[in-house]
Structure 1
Amino acid sequence: MNDFKLLIIAIVLSFFLTLVLGIIIIPFLKRLKVGQSIRAEGPQSHYSKSGTPTMGGIVMIAAILITTLTSGRLNKDLYIVLFSTIGFGLIGFIDDFIKVVLKRNLGLKAYQKLIGQITIAAIIAVYQSKVSIYGTRVLIPFLNNYIDLGFLYVPFIAFVVVATTNSVNLTDGLDGLASGVTLIVSSFFSLIALNMGFFSIATFSAALTGACLGFLRFNAYPAKVFMGDTGSMALGGAIASIAILMNLTLFIPIVGGIYFAEALSVIIQVISFKTTGKRVFKMSPLHHHFELSGWKETKIVVVFWSVTLILCIIGLYSLK
């Protein structure tokens, strides 16, 4: 059986596991009354979503874990991407648990999240600098050349991991947005990993693709469950580690352009308001700006998915 067929099997298995686990776990989340709280300063159209079960990311993490551990492709790289996915997912889970179960609206303090994120990110960065045949070099898009970051490699990679994870977290604000965008991005990395010979990472990426696709059954508009920080942090950790282990760190802003735009909109909004007292966007992250501009939620999601698909095609071209 060739490697491409194994990827299809991983996608299909993860997809069906997500469906089955979702049918089992989502009613359980409802009984626990772990409903999403809607921010008072958020769009008024979101108030109707209050009480929708959250922490659904558990479903995706479980499906990915089962699929990859039974794939027969176990190696150190696979353990690192699983470590990143589960590690960041655990931080998100603790944050969700404090907010929705213990009813403490603020969840983990910012510095507590950051300590956990930096710790995981540093481990990934050090591992890659020691294990990769490219050492501290990263591939430059379009040029097909590597740049050696030297002693800056570990802090740079750690920054990328933390930034990517939080950017994915910010993207998770509309039904099906983060799961759909990540489905497309993970499909890109799955094909690239297969082509570059990173078979364990290709299998993991395929499992991630299947899990996101299956989760859309419950998370597409109108969402029956939200992934919560449990899911969005796990997805961010997964995407960041996949790219880094293939030395494709600089491709994240390209194929993950939507993540980047969402995070940048928040940064611009905060800086502008604090320095001039004026807001650049009607609301940040970016998807809320379009909502308040009159776009329907489903239109925003489809447009952002489409943009991601185009960016991934550009990403493929940049590797030639």
Structure 2
Amino acid sequence: MQVAWIPTSTPLINADTRIFWQPPQGIFIPVQGGNLPAYPTPTQPSNLTINNPLQAPPIQNMNRVSQIISQNMQTIPNNNNQNSLATFQNGISIINNNQKSNDELKASIQLLIRQLESRQGEQSISAPSQALGIKRRRLYDVINVFESIGCCRKCALDSVIWIGKENIAKAFDFIAKSRKVDDLSKSISDIFPVHQCVGIQNLTTSFILLFFALRTDRLDLRFTAQFFSRNTSRYKTTLCKLYQVAYILAALDLTSKTSHVCEVVIRPDIFGVKTLDLPSNSSAVSIKSLLNGSEDELSSAITKRRNDFRSYYIARLKE
């Protein structure tokens, strides 16, 4: 490790080493970078302190880092290196704290599920949620999602009867039939009217049913939010709630994220979703459709539904 002394007026830039300059007040400033400017080093500097290299904190999303830094930099003078560095470290701290908070919430939800699974009959949710540190508003969102997928039934404001994940497939088979998801004459907009895509419970049900209607095991939350909020101004609100729904479902091990931005994968084995792989150049009318009859009628109908579903978000991008 190399160490260099730099005056206060020198900008701290690119270094492969960590530089620790101790001003008279006794403040230590760690800096990362590459090539150091050629400044003379005092023979015996009284204000030079060498510390062990610090391990860089984990950064999950560099775009988020840049956003936080740019927002904070607007209120901090650019010529103040100490404050700029503090801003960067504060941004990293915020991201790590948010990540830790999300992980803790997911663990708390999973512990709540274990608590509910361990007992039968009506049981209170207030005491275990308080013990696990789940806020009341978040708790109601969790229970509403659980009830929407058929895992539990609310008896009162703070009590439920746990039914179990094995009831999910049966519940959605009934819902899919009642909403006529398999009726190929129905368009995607007919199956999901906008007024049935408002609120955490309706959004949860519609979100899961969308996998059935499109015969797929993965969806982009941005496309989904735009479709559910079409012809309204609720896109951002809907997207935020869909993230909450997907997060709670992930805590139940019912969905997971992929490497693609905003993409969520469902577990077909739990929900009973039948998937259909279609070629990218699927056409509503083809020689194959004339030969295969009803089989390709399904492919044509699903292709049209998928195209209509995507069209709302594409139209938004063109605005």
TM value normalised by structure 2: 0.27
Greater relative contact order structure (CA < 8 Å, 6+ sep):
1
Between Structure 1 and Structure 2, the one with more strand by share is: 2
Between Structure 1 and Structure 2, the one with more helix by share is: 1
TM value normalised by structure 1: 0.27
Bigger Rg, structure 1 or 2: 2
